[in-house]
Amino acid sequence: MKKTVLAIGIFDGVHTGHRRIISAAIREARKRGAESVVVTFEPHPLKVLRPRVSVPSIISASHRIKLICELGADRCCVLRFDRRFSRLSPRDFAGKVLSGKFKASKVFIGSNFVFGKGNAGNANSLIKLGVEFGFGVEVVPMVRSGGKVVSSTAIRKYIIKGKINEAARMLGRPISVYGTVVSGKKRGRLLGYPTANIDPHHEAIPPAGVYAVWVKRGKRRYGGALFIGKPSTFGETETVVEVHIFDFHEFIYHEDIEVEFVRRLRAGRKFRGREPLIAQIKRDDALARKILKTG
């Protein structure tokens, strides 16, 4: 098996800090004529070790892999994190997984990387284990944005609080909802504004409201207005995520699409009937088009 250069981490969000680690590993692999491999974990370790702690995923595992591969990695390997895996000692993780399974010649990690049973291993201990098992270790410093350390934890908080610009700066790209188009109540079509109902593949989404968005379908991009919330005007209590794609008339049920957030237009609210709701949707549509046109 060809020697590898590894980048290891959970990499939820594949934010600017993650990309620094991954890109450094890719560059090193090319210098060595080695294979660049990104090793990540699913589910998030905290969901196994501390299931009562809420850790909403920023992006799905499949979206994570897609973003990692777009950076130029030769391979992305998702290790299943379960109770059995969590019991590996730091030494076994370094010897059996990094050296044995992946034939690592060098490993890139973030400065906050921990591993092994009880998170007993850290950057310093991995450096020592690397000497023992024959691989080098490079610790990549944390990235800062606006004076704050870039982290998945901070990005989750920003998204859930609706601070989409702050989250986008740390991600290095717009925040988005990625999911499958499913059948809905078709009320939008009856109102003159058909919508695509999205079943998100991840958990961290912005708060209820109406947003100007870009909709990515394959390599094409369309403008749109997205609603997140409970359609209380119709007496519904279940939260929906639905997007009206401008000037779009194709059948996309069961397709996966990505919706990038540009700006929040307003909070969600209950209307006293169809006509006031239609009038507001018309205003939302016009404002979203204007925002997307002017950038």
What is the pLDDT, as a whole number, of residue 186?
A: 63
Task: Name the band, by pLDDT with cuts 50, 70 and 90, for residue 235.
Answer: low
> What are phi and psi for residue 65, nearest 5 degrees?
-60, -45
What is the pLDDT, as a whole number, of residue 170?
A: 97
Token pair of 189 as six digits: 């079509």
DSSP state of 119: G
What is the pLDDT, as a whole number, of residue 98?
A: 97
Is residue 270 predicted with pLDDT exceeding 90? no
Name, in order, each residue with C-beta under 8 angstroms of 91's C-beta and a sequence gap of 6 or more: 116, 129
Is the dihedral angle over the CA atoms 242, 14, 114, 112 positive or is it negative?
Answer: negative
Is residue 231 predicted with pLDDT exceeding 90? no
> How far apart, in whole angstroms, are the C-alpha atoms of residue 166 and residue 212?
17
Mean pLDDT, to the nearest integer, of 54-81? 95
Mean pLDDT, to the nearest integer, of 81-95? 97
CATH class name, domain 177-294: mainly beta
Token pair of 102 as six digits: 């992946």
pLDDT > 90 in the chain, percent = 83
Task: Name the band, by pLDDT with cuts 50, 70 and 90, for residue 193.
Answer: confident
Of the two residues 75 and 239, the one the predictor is more confident about is: 75
Is residue 247 predicted with pLDDT exceeding 80? yes
What is the pLDDT, as a whole number, of residue 232?
A: 63
Is residue 107 predicted with pLDDT exceeding 90? yes
Residue 201, number of CB atoms within 10 A of its CB: 17
Is the dihedral angle over the CA atoms 8, 13, 16, 22 positive or is it negative?
Answer: positive
- Which CATH number is 4-149's, of 1.25.40.10, 3.40.50.620, 3.40.50.460, 3.30.70.2860? 3.40.50.620
Task: Name the band, by pLDDT with cuts 50, 70 and 90, for residue 2.
Answer: confident
Q: Measuring CA to CA, which residue among 35, 31, 106 is closest to residue 75?
A: 35
Over residues 163-192, the pLDDT tens digits come to 999 999 999 999 999 999 998 766 656 666
Task: Name the band, by pLDDT with cuts 50, 70 and 90, for residue 238.
Answer: confident
Which residue has tokens 């990540």? 40
Domain ranges of the chain: 4-149, 177-294
What is the pLDDT, as a whole number, of residue 233?
A: 62
Do the domains spanning 4-149 and 177-294 agree at the CATH topology level?
no
The amino acid occupying position 105 is S
Mean pLDDT, to the nearest integer, of 142-157? 95
